[in-house]
Amino acid sequence: MDNNHLITTENLTKRFPMGQTELTALNNINLTIRKGEFIGLVGPSGSGKTTLLNILGTLDSPTEGSAVVLGNNTAELSHKNSAKLRNLQIGFIFQTFNLLPVYTVYENVEFPLLLQKLGKSQRHDMVVDALKWVGLADRAKSKPAQLSGGQCQRVAIARAIVKKPALVLADEPTANLDAKNSHHILKTMETLNKELGTTFIFATHDEKVIGYLKRQITLDDGQIANDQVLKG
């Protein structure tokens, strides 16, 4: 495998049981994603974007074929090892932010580092850095309920990137944001992609996101309909 390859899928197929029959969510997906890419999985609802994102994030495994993520075949990973991989190498950003409401901004961002059992001062430095990247260092002590939607999503980004993962998976990250906040968020992620070399994969059908993508993979009915590089 090319050292530059972050993700490789071969004939990746995912079927879900639907009563007596099966629904094919992904059908023979062959894909190679390199480090530092800024990719969008685009397509209508039910096209398989989230299913592919779940498999790439080791939350699910293929029915047939293989998905090798960061050198690990997802089908062979135990629950414990896939959790470890997510903890160390993969960050998630969700449509609805999913911040823990009883914790402060600082504590939300600190949480992934606690799972890594890092020391307090190291955690502090990393959290402060992450909050600076997203421009929320001054809101460290705020609770999510005291923030706007855009700020919440920036906290979610900080939480995803605080551990400096190789890969960030974002499922419709701008769906709940207005245009201004969407652009702000996308710019933040674009900067992080450039400065930290983090690979971003979005599942989206938001036109605003598409404008920022370097590569667009269009899914239709569980298959890759188009895979094109948009920016060099």
Partner 1 sequence: MIRFLLKGLVRDRHRSLFPILVVSIGVMLTVFAHSWFSGMINDIIDSNAKFDTGHIKIMSRSYAENKDQTPNDLALTGINDLLQQLRDDIPEMAWTPRIKFGGLIDIPDEAGETRSQSPAMGVALDFYGPGGEVERLNIQNALVTGRLPRNPGEILISDELAQRLETKVGDTATLIGSTMYGAMAVHNFTISGTLKFGMKAMDRGAMLVDIHDIRLALDMDDAAGEIVGYMHPIYKDNTIQSIKAEFNSLHTENDDEFAPVMLSLRDQNGLNDYLVYAESISGMLIFVFVGIMSLVLWNTGLIGGIRRYGEIGVRLAIGENKGGVYRSMVLESAAIGFAGSLIGSILGLALAYWIQVKGINLGDMMGNSSLLISNIVRTRITEQTYYIGFIPGLLSTVLGSMLAGIGIYKRQTAQLFKELEV
Query: For binding to partner 1 (CB under 8 A), which residues are involved?
Result: 54-55, 57, 59-60, 79-80, 82-88, 90, 92, 94, 96, 98, 100, 102-103, 107, 110-112, 114-115, 117, 159
- When the beta carbons of 133 and 212 are compared against partner 1, the nearer one is 133
- When the beta carbons of 115 and 225 are compared against partner 1, the nearer one is 115
CB of 55 to partner 1, least distance (A): 8
CB of 106 to partner 1, least distance (A): 11
- When the beta carbons of 85 and 105 are compared against partner 1, the nearer one is 85
Q: Give me the residues paired with residue 199 across strands.
A: 167
CB of 195 to partner 1, least distance (A): 22
- DSSP code string of 89-154: HEEEE-TT----TTS-HHHHHHHHHHHTT--HHHHHHHHHHHHHHTT-GGGTT--GGGS-HHHHHH
CA distance 92 to 57: 8
- When the beta carbons of 90 and 192 are compared against partner 1, the nearer one is 90
CB of 160 to partner 1, least distance (A): 9
- When the beta carbons of 159 and 184 are compared against partner 1, the nearer one is 159
CB of 92 to partner 1, least distance (A): 5
Give the rounded distance of the alpha carbon of 155 from its chain centre.
Answer: 14
Exposed (0-12), middle (13-18) or buried (19+): which is 232, by Cβ within 10 Å?
A: exposed
CB of 232 to partner 1, least distance (A): 32
In b/e form, how buried is each residue of 88-118, taking b as 16+ CB within 10 angstroms? ebbbbbbbebebeeeebbbbbbbebbeeeeb
CA dihedral 54, 172, 91, 15 (to 10 degrees): 0
Residue pair 141/105 in contact (Cβ under 8 Å)? The answer is yes
- When the beta carbons of 85 and 186 are compared against partner 1, the nearer one is 85
Triad 160, 132, 102: Cα angle to 5°: 55
